Amino acid sequence: MKRRLAFSSGGVVFRRGFGGLEVVLAHYDSVWGLPKGTPEGRETKEQTALREVQEETGLEVEIIEPITEIKYWFVADGTRIYKTVYFLLMRATGGDTSLHDAEHEEVAWFPLEEAYKILSYPNELEVVHAAAALAEKHF
């Protein structure tokens, strides 16, 4: 089986809500997850994350600091792919979740405890936990 490397970048976007920190999640094909995507051209990790988060959530965002990266294998079209996804801590500076792209059925803000329960992938849950610890000093 062929093998290849793949990379993407995304963000964990927070805001301070009435009950504490809230995080934005995107929903598609029965999956709740973090906004992320692949670079276009020679985009940096940061440029990719900013563009993908804006497209997928409808929010204008700024990067606060790197969080972590996750790595995993998957198979697509007969190729075994080793993917690295870089995540950055972000703050919403404008926009609205109603402006998200057609790739997602719904984009919404969730209190952290609720987000922990509905995230579909365990590795993204770990990313949100790490991001929440960092966010406490910024929000």
pLDDT tens digit sequence for 18-74: 889 999 999 999 999 999 999 999 999 999 999 999 999 999 999 999 999 999 999
CB 90 within 8 A of CB 64: yes
Strands 36-37 and 2-17: antiparallel
Q: Which structural domain range is residue 125 located in?
A: 2-135
Q: Please report, for the domain that includes residue 36, its CATH number.
A: 3.90.79.10
CB 8 within 8 A of CB 44: no
Burial environment of residue 81 by CB neighbours within 10 A (0 to 12, 13 to 18, 19 or more): middle
Q: Which of 118, 99, 112 is nearest to 56 (CA)?
A: 99
Residue 110: pLDDT over 90: yes
Number of structural domains, the chain?
Answer: 1
Distance, CA of 105 to CA of 23 (rounded, Å): 17
Q: What is the pLDDT of residue 139?
A: 85
Q: Which residue has the higher pLDDT, 84 or 136?
A: 84
Q: Which of 135, 106, 112 is nearest to 125 (CA)?
A: 112
Give pTM, 2 decimals.
Answer: 0.94
* Gyration radius of the chain over CA positions: 15
Beta-carbon contacts of 83 under 8 Å, excluding residues fewer than 6 positions away, are: 5, 6, 7, 8, 71, 72, 73, 74
